[in-house]
Amino acid sequence: MTLWKEHHSSEEWVENYTTPDKAFDQMMAPFDILGSIAHLTMLRKCHYVSNKEFDTMKGELIKLYRVTMDEGIQIPEGIEDIHSYVELYLTDKLGKMGKRLHTARSRNDQVLLDIKLYIRNEIEEVVEQTGALFQKLMELARQYEHTFMPGYTHGQIAMPSTFGLWFSAYGEQLAEDLIEVHSAFQLANMNPLGSGAGYGTTFDIDRELTTSLLGFDSMHFNVIGAQLARGKTEILMAQALAAISTTLSRLANDCCLFLGQNFKFLSLDHRIATGSSIMPHKKNPDVFELLRANLNRLKAVPGEMYMYTTNLNTGYSRDFQLTKQSLFPAIEVLKENLNTFTRAMGHVRVNEELMEDARYRDVFSVNRIRHYTDQGLPFREAYHKVAAELKEGKNATDHNMASKTIGHIGNMCFEAIENKYDHHRRRFPFNHVRSCMEELIEA
């Protein structure tokens, strides 16, 4: 059943083709109910429902919300979407009274609201899981702060680095990825409710009240603008996913290389390695290879969002229905892989004797140049002197000349990186949002 069917009938194949994937609508169910409670509260204030009607309908919505959170719901066959389900649930329980819930709103601003509330909630989970991986990387950075490893440029051995510098580099990248995540949160944290189908409503309603009740920071003031934001919210969320994925797919690739026998930078606990059906000596880093692949495919999601929204005119188009099919699973993939990455990094072991390998003897050549410049030689002369020594086979090893410059291996700024993460994490008003949601379902 659809909310509009009594006035218009389509052929069955049309309804089947245009009906949204109910699995995604069921993911939005708690947020549709919360949005309905906020809308109902506003209708009471504006005298479109009585106090008695409000109490009765809110009570039923809270019951449905708790069932949804505890057990989940299945949208029955024949009911088009979550919006129809909630309204028809109330009508079945309360008769004509339930039909008042849809006063002064459209399914267009309703689905806009649900998507924003869903994304906002998912962002909190993404940030929390990103934080867990950040903490693991910084823990490893401190543990191996002074353990040398060679740095590479162009795939060639370059200058000395440390595992502390390498681990904390990815920690800082995750902290900076929160900048993009926060941009997505800011757009998701604007209230579209009250924009109707994109041209407002003939009812006098209080959009500021629903904005406050739902914990939004602001609203889309222009009702057409609220609908124009459809797609943009999804695009920014997809870009945030891609930013984190870019950081982590590169870390996964490093791990795949560094676990190989030609590098031997790292070793893998046998408990998370896989074996070969023919070669008994193999310990394969399948976890990191799959992390790399899963995270790389998330980088395509922003492109999908842009294509869905290309060349659309002002106003709602059904094309937007498809954004959920790309974005919602992508969010789940990122969360799963963040959790997997955190667990996997707990099983990685660093080769603390790595630099004893003769192939890395020249990695300290720049330190040797510094040694000669401290004795008064101009840099270029010191460069040529060290080059000649290397050609003669002399050992350039000098571990004691690490620069104390900010961010170098002699000054890795762990505390500053942790402060950066904390700064970006604190910008998200998750506690306020959670408090507003809890107040909505108070009986």
Q: pLDDT tens for residues 305-329?
A: 999 888 888 877 778 888 898 999 9
Q: Is the pLDDT of residue 422 over 80?
A: yes
Is 38 in contact with 433 (CB distance < 8 Å)?
A: no
The DSSP code sequence of 265-294 is SEEE-GGG-B--SS-TT--B-HHHHHHHHH
Q: Is the pLDDT of residue 65 over 80?
A: yes
Average confidence score pLDDT of the chain: 90
* CATH number, position 55: 1.10.275.10
Q: Is the pLDDT of residue 274 over 90?
A: no
Q: Which of 77-81, 98-102, 313-317 is predicted most confidently?
A: 98-102
**What is the C-alpha to C-alpha distance for residues 238 and 184, in angstroms, rounded to an integer?**
9
Q: Assess whether 252 and 180 both reside in one domain.
A: yes
Among residues 103, 121, 150, which one ends one of the domains? Answer: 103
Higher pLDDT pick, 38 / 83: 38
The DSSP code sequence of 47-109 is TSS-HHHHHHHHHHHHHHHHHHHHH---PPTT--SHHHHHHHHHHHHHGGGGGGGGTT--HHH
Q: Assess whether 314 and 341 both reside in one domain.
A: yes
Rounded average pLDDT over 386-407: 77
Among residues 85, 103, 121, which one ends one of the domains? Answer: 103
For 98-237, where are the E strands, in sequence order? 148-153, 156-162, 190-191, 218-219
Rounded average pLDDT over 207-227: 96
Q: How many domains is the chain partitioned into structurally?
A: 2
pLDDT tens-digit series, residues 134-154? 999 999 999 999 999 999 999
Rounded average pLDDT over 379-395: 86
Tell me, what's the pLDDT at 4? 44
Query: Which domain does 34 fall in, by range?
Result: 5-103
In a domain, 25, yes or no: yes
Distances 239 to 214, 305, 369 between C-alpha atoms, Å:
25, 9, 43
Q: Assess whether 44 and 183 both reside in one domain.
A: no
80 Cβ contact list (under 8 Å, min separation 6): 1, 2, 3, 15, 19, 20
Tokens 């002064």 sit on residue? 104
Q: Assess whether 134 and 187 both reside in one domain.
A: yes
Distance of CA 13 to the CA centre of its chain: 36
Q: Is the pLDDT of residue 180 over 50?
A: yes
197-201, 220-224, 318-322: least confidently modelled range: 318-322
- Predicted confidence band of residue 279 (pLDDT cuts 50, 70, 90): confident
In a domain, 135, yes or no: yes
Rounded average pLDDT over 409-418: 94
Q: Assess whether 264 and 324 both reside in one domain.
A: yes
